[in-house]
Chains A and B, each alone.
Chain A
Amino acid sequence: MSHKNRNLEKKSTSQSITGFFKSFLEFEESKPLIALITLFAGSSIISPHFLTWYNQRILLLQMAPLAMLALGETAIILMGSIDLSPGSVMALSGTVAAIALIYWHMPVGVAAIIGMLTGAICGLINGLLITKAKIPSFVATLAILVAGRGMVLIITGGMPVVGLKPFTFLTSDIAFLPSMVWIAVLATILLYFLMKMTKIGREVYAIGGNEDAARYSGVNADLTKIIIFTMAGILYAISGLMMNARLEVAYPWTGWGYELDAIAAAVLGGVQLTGGVGSTLGSVMGAYILTLITNILILLGVNPYYQWVVKGAILAIAATVLTRGLRYVK
Chain B
Amino acid sequence: MVKIALKAEKIVKKFPGVVALDHVTFDLKESEIHGLVGQNGAGKSTFVKILNGIYHPDGGRIFLNGKEVMIKNPIEARKFGITLVHQEVTLVPYLTVAENILLGKMPLKNKILVDWDALFEYAEKTLEELGADIDPKTKVKELSVGEQKLVQVARALAERAQILCFDEPTTALTPMEKESLFQIIKNLKNSGKSVIYITHYIDEIFEICDRVTILRDGKKIATENVSEVKPEEVVKMMLGREVSSFYVVRKGEAVGASRKPILEVKDLSTIPEKAHGVALKNISFKLYEGEILGVVGLLGAGKSELGKALFGMEKIINGKIIMDGKEITIKSPYDALKHGILYAPENRQLEGLIPEMSLKENITITTLDEISRFLGVINVKKEREIASEWVKKLGIVAPSLNVKVSNLSGGNQQKVVIAKILQTKPRIIIFDEPTVGIDVGTKVEIRKIIANLSKQGISVILLSSDVDEVLSLADRIITLVKGELTCEMVNKDVSKDEVISLICKAGGINVVS
Contact = CB atoms under 8 A, between A and B. Distances in A.
A277 B337 CA distance: 27
Given A197-B377, A202-B361, A218 B333 contact: yes
Contacts of B354: 205-206, 209-210, 213-214, 276
Interface in A202-239: 202-203, 205-206, 209-210, 212-220
A199 B371 CA distance: 9
Contacts of A218: 333-334, 336-337, 366, 424
B368 interface: yes
B114 interface: no
Contacts of A276: 354, 356-357
Contacts of B332: 215
Nearest to A274: B356
Contacts of B313: 216
B365 interface: yes
B236 to A, nearest CB: 34
Contact of B376 (A200, A205, A212): A200
A199 B333 contact: no
B365 A212 contact: no
Interface string A100-143: 00000000000000000000000000000000000000000000
A198 interface: yes
A215 B331 CA distance: 12
B357 A199 contact: no
Given A199-B376, A219-B368, A276-B357, 15 more contacts: A197-B380, A198-B377, A199-B377, A202-B368, A202-B378, A205-B356, A210-B353, A213-B354, A214-B354, A215-B334, A216-B333, A218-B333, A218-B334, A219-B334, A277-B356
B352 interface: yes
A199 B365 contact: no
Contact of A209 (B343, B357, B378, B420): B357
Given A198-B372, A198-B375, A213-B351, A219 B356 contact: no
B350 interface: yes
A55 B361 CA distance: 43
A168 B424 CA distance: 52
Interface residues of A, number: 21
A209 B353 CA distance: 9
Nearest to B312: A215
Given A209-B357, A210-B353, A210-B355, A219 B378 contact: no
B115 interface: no
B57 interface: no
Contacts of A212: 350-351
Interface of A: 197-200, 202-203, 205-206, 209-210, 212-220, 276-277
A200 B378 CA distance: 10
Interface residues of B, number: 30
A218 B313 CA distance: 12
A213 B334 CA distance: 12
Contact of A205 (B337, B343, B357, B380): B357
Contacts of A277: 356
B300 interface: no
Nearest to B421: A217
Contacts, number: 73
> Among the interface residues A203, A213, A220, A276, which one has the most CB atoms of the partner chain B within 10 A?
A213
Contacts of A199: 368-369, 372, 376-378
A199 B368 CA distance: 6
B169 interface: no
Interface in B320-376: 332-334, 336-337, 343, 345, 350-357, 361, 365-366, 368-369, 372, 375-376
A198 B376 CA distance: 5
B14 to A, nearest CB: 20
Interface in B128-146: none
Quick one: which of B353, B354, B369, B375 has the most chain A CB within 10 A?
A: B354
Contacts of A203: 368
Contacts of A213: 350-354
A209 B424 contact: no
Q: Interface residues of A: mostly helix, strand, loop or mixed?
A: helix
A217 B355 CA distance: 14
Contact of A214 (B337, B365, B372, B378): B365
6 contacts: A199-B372, A202-B361, A202-B365, A206-B361, A212-B351, A215-B332
A214 B356 CA distance: 12
Q: In this complex, which of A203, A214, A215, A218 has the most chain B Cβ atoms within 10 angstroms of its Cβ?
A: A218
Listed residue (B334, B343, B353, B355) with the most chain A CB atoms within 10 angstroms of its CB: B334
Contacts of A200: 376
Interface in B300-316: 311, 313
Contact of B355 (A209, A215, A216, A220): A209
Nearest to B376: A199
A216 B352 contact: yes
Nearest to A198: B376
Contacts of A209: 354-357
B368 A216 contact: no
A219 B365 CA distance: 8
A276 B350 CA distance: 15
Interface in B90-138: none
Given A197-B378, A198-B372, A217 B350 contact: no
A205 to B, nearest CB: 7
A112 to B, nearest CB: 24
Contacts of A220: 334
A197 B376 CA distance: 8
A215 B333 contact: yes
Residue among A205, A216, A276 facing the most chain B CB atoms (10 A cut-off): A216
A217 B420 contact: yes
Contacts of B361: 202, 205-206
A178 to B, nearest CB: 29
B378 A198 contact: yes
A74 B380 CA distance: 24
A276 B404 CA distance: 13
A202 B357 CA distance: 10
Per CB-CB distance, the 8 closest pairs between chain A and chain B, nearest first, are A218-B337, A199-B376, A209-B354, A198-B376, A199-B368, A199-B372, A210-B354, A209-B356
A43 to B, nearest CB: 34
Interface string B208-247: 0000000000000000000000000000000000000000
A229 B353 CA distance: 25
Contacts of A198: 372, 375-378
Contacts of B355: 209-210
Contacts of B336: 218
B369 to A, nearest CB: 7
A212 B354 CA distance: 9
Nearest to A215: B333
Contacts of B380: 197
Contacts of B365: 202, 206, 214, 217, 219
B219 to A, nearest CB: 31
A216 B378 contact: no
Contacts of B345: 216
A22 to B, nearest CB: 15
B376 A216 contact: no
Nearest to A208: B356
A202 B358 CA distance: 11
A206 B368 CA distance: 12
